[in-house]
């Protein structure tokens, strides 16, 4: 994608976000755009930065390690892919949020790394709301028990929930999944668990971020509609 293409794409994505926020009577400032830079060259990210994008997301720790030093320190980095426990040792304070906390072993490993480095990780619990066997994440039924134990791990804080829509789902089904995640979050917010504040909902990508916003997303993860097809 050309420089002009990335600029225009960012403008259009932000406009679409604004329209979706208006339709759902939400403040556009309450919704943040993550530019998912998976497999994209650093030059494309630098162009997005030039045109005002400051929040970036990577699926793989290795790509984050390669790319993060190339952009300025005012960038905010999110990890949105499944996080392997053996990669946690590479993480540092420049990771703003981990979207894929999905199992006890990862919680333990993050806590140990946090104790080692003096870092408190901001995380989202990944929920397989669509119950798609190809996707990671806790089932909705597993989430309450998982949140109850977060307080035992001082270096990990949960700020909300994340989901990935089912690959073969219709738009009606996808909207339903987003709504189910919001309802689950709203139900769980009534509980008071140490280390847990469910203010964030990370859901929606290039094909469906507008629906996600209409259903309550606070973070949308957009790659192709900003950068074009993956390299």
The 10s digit of each residue's pLDDT in 32-86 is: 999 999 999 999 999 999 999 999 999 999 999 999 999 988 999 999 999 999 9
**What is the value of pTM for the model shown?**
0.95
pLDDT of residue 2: 45
Domain 3-227 has CATH 2.40.30.10: no
pLDDT of residue 69: 93
Give domain limits for the chain: 3-227
Closest CA to 95 of 126, 128, 63, 122: 122
Spell 20-38 as b/e; 16+ CB within 10 A means b.
Answer: bbeeeebeeeebbbbbbbb
- Extract the residue ranges of the chain whose pLDDT is less than 50: 1-3
- Torsion angles phi and psi, residue 165, rounded to 5: -65, 155
pLDDT of residue 230: 62
pLDDT of residue 1: 45
Radius of gyration of the chain (CA): 17
Number of other CB atoms surrounding residue 115 within 10 Å:
13
């Amino acid at each position: 994608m050309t420089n002009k293409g990335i600029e225009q794409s960012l403008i259009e994505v932000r406009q679409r976000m604004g329209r979706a926020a208006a339709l759902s009577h939400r403040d556009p400032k309450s919704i943040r755009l993550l530019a998912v830079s998976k497999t994209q060259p650093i030059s494309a990210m630098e162009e997005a930065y030039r045109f005002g994008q400051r929040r970036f997301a990577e699926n793989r720790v290795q790509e984050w390690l390669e790319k993060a030093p190339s952009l300025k320190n005012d960038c905010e980095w999110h990890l949105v892919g499944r996080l392997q426990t053996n990669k946690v040792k590479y993480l540092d304070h420049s990771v703003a949020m981990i979207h894929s906390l999905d199992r006890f072993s990862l919680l333990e490993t993050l806590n140990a790394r946090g104790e080692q480095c003096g870092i408190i990780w901001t995380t989202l619990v990944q929920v397989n709301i669509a119950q798609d066997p190809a996707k990671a994440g806790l089932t909705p039924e597993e989430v309450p028990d998982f949140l109850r134990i977060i307080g035992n791990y001082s270096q990990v804080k949960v700020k909300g929930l994340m989901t990935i829509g089912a690959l073969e789902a219709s738009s009606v089904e996808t909207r339903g999944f987003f709504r189910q995640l919001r309802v689950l979050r709203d139900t769980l917010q009534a509980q008071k668990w140490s280390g847990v504040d469910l203010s964030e909902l990370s859901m929606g990508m290039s094909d469906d971020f507008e629906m996600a916003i209409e259903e309550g997303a606070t973070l949308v993860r957009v790659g192709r509609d900003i950068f074009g097809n993956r390299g």
